[in-house]
Amino acid sequence: MDTAKTSLRKTESDPDIFFHCQHCKAALVANKSAAGMNLACQKCGQQTLVPQPEVPSTVAAEFVDEIQRKLKENESQRAEITGYINQLTIQLHRWQLRLQTLNERKAQLEKDLGGK
């Protein structure tokens, strides 16, 4: 009972593929699970390829939106990190100047000590 319900739901969410026979152009229908396989045409009996179902345009649009959202997120993160690097580069430069000043002060003090 439960199994039957599940398989029914699966069929509903698994639309059929409508296509045409490669030989006689007859309109054919196959289950989505047959995509990419060869089936015998119901009209002429020859083997014909079941095409892949087309991706619905809404799904494709959502996919593009998702990629663009990720790109935007990536860009803002890169801008943030670039900002941190710039800030720390400035800070590093300040510390280097401060150390240079302290070194000069040390040299001066040692010179004063030696002079006495």
Look-up of token digits 């095409």: 51
HSE, side-chain direction, 13 A CA sphere, residue 104: 6
Q: What is the DSSP letter of 19?
A: E
24 binds Zn ion (CB under 5 A): yes
41 binds Zn ion (CB under 5 A): yes
CA distance 115 to 97: 27
In the complex with Zn ion, the residue whose CB is nearer, 26 or 81, is 26
50 binds Zn ion (CB under 5 A): no
Minimum distance from residue 47 beta carbon to Zn ion (Å): 9
Of the candidates 27, 29, 37, 44, which one interacts with Zn ion according to CB under 5 A?
A: 44
Among 47, 5, 56, 1, residue whose Cα is nearest residue 28: 47
Site size toward Zn ion (CB under 5 A) is 7
Of the candidates 34, 43, 51, 53, which one interacts with Zn ion according to CB under 5 A?
A: 43
23 binds Zn ion (CB under 5 A): yes
Tokens linked to 111: 């010179």
